[in-house]
């Protein structure tokens, strides 16, 4: 399971396959990470610095986080889109097939490379597919790479 949690400032990625349930996140920042709660991650309940530190201490790499740099990611028809203000600076496109959701194209403007925007875009699509109980297929090699 892949989940993307976002505030205005940061994005937190969670990959349940990597989670070893060591609960370092829970002990480090119980306001934001509470396994008794749904959703179990609620970033608005704690200071960004405290969330960041707890994520940094995740021993398995299940949790990771990045700064948003003012870029907003939205899910639209058959794609996720990254906006800098009104300007589209990246997108991740998928098609719904009989075998699942196929992510076939991911692209981020060269000027915005190195900010994990592609990862946010792909995670947004994967999370939506998982909510829809659909398989995820990645014929886009870039998408596969950012999910490693
Ligand atoms: S710290 Fe990481 S490995 Fe431990 S419970 Fe939290 S997400 Fe899972």
Q: How far is CA 26 from CA 19, 29, 30, 31, 98, in A?
A: 12, 5, 5, 8, 39
Q: Which residue has 């907003």 as its token pair?
A: 72
CA 95–ligand 1 middle distance (angstroms): 32
Q: Mark the ranges of the chain whose per-residue pLDDT is less than 50.
A: none
pLDDT of residue 53: 97
Residues 6+ apart with CB under 8 A from 49: none
Q: How far is CA 148 from CA 16, 43, 123, in A?
A: 13, 24, 11
pLDDT of residue 82: 98
Q: What is the C-alpha separation between 88 and 26, in angstroms, rounded?
A: 36
pLDDT of residue 148: 82
Would you list the domain boundaries of the chain? 2-67, 72-146
CA 16–ligand 1 middle distance (angstroms): 9
Q: Could you tell me if 40 and 146 are in contact, meaning their C-beta atoms sit under 8 angstroms apart?
A: no
Q: Could you tell me if 10 and 68 are in contact, meaning their C-beta atoms sit under 8 angstroms apart?
A: yes
- How many CB atoms within 10 Å of residue 30? 14
The SS3 assignment for 29 reads coil
Is the CB of residue 24 below 6 angstroms from any atom belonging to ligand 1?
A: yes
CATH top-level class of 2-67? alpha beta
CATH 3.40.630.30 fits 72-146, yes or no: yes
Return the ligand 1 atom nearest residue 54 CA: 1
pLDDT of residue 22: 81
Is the CB of residue 19 below 6 angstroms from any atom belonging to ligand 1?
A: yes
pLDDT of residue 117: 97
């Amino acid at each position: 399971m892949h989940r993307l949690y976002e505030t205005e400032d940061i994005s937190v990625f969670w990959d349940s396959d990597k989670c070893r349930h060591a609960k370092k996140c829970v002990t480090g920042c119980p306001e934001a990470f509470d396994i008794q709660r749904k959703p179990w991650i609620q970033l608005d309940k704690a200071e960004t610095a405290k969330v960041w530190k707890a994520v940094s201490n995740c021993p398995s790499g299940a949790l990771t986080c990045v700064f948003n740099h003012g870029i907003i990611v939205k899910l639209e028809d058959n794609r996720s889109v990254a906006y800098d203000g009104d300007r589209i600076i990246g997108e991740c496109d998928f098609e719904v097939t009989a075998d699942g959701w196929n992510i076939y194209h991911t692209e981020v403007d060269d000027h915005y490379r190195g900010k994990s925007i592609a990862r946010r875009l792909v995670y947004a699509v994967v999370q939506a597919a998982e909510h829809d109980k659909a398989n995820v297929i990645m014929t886009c090699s870039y998408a596969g790479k950012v999910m490693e």
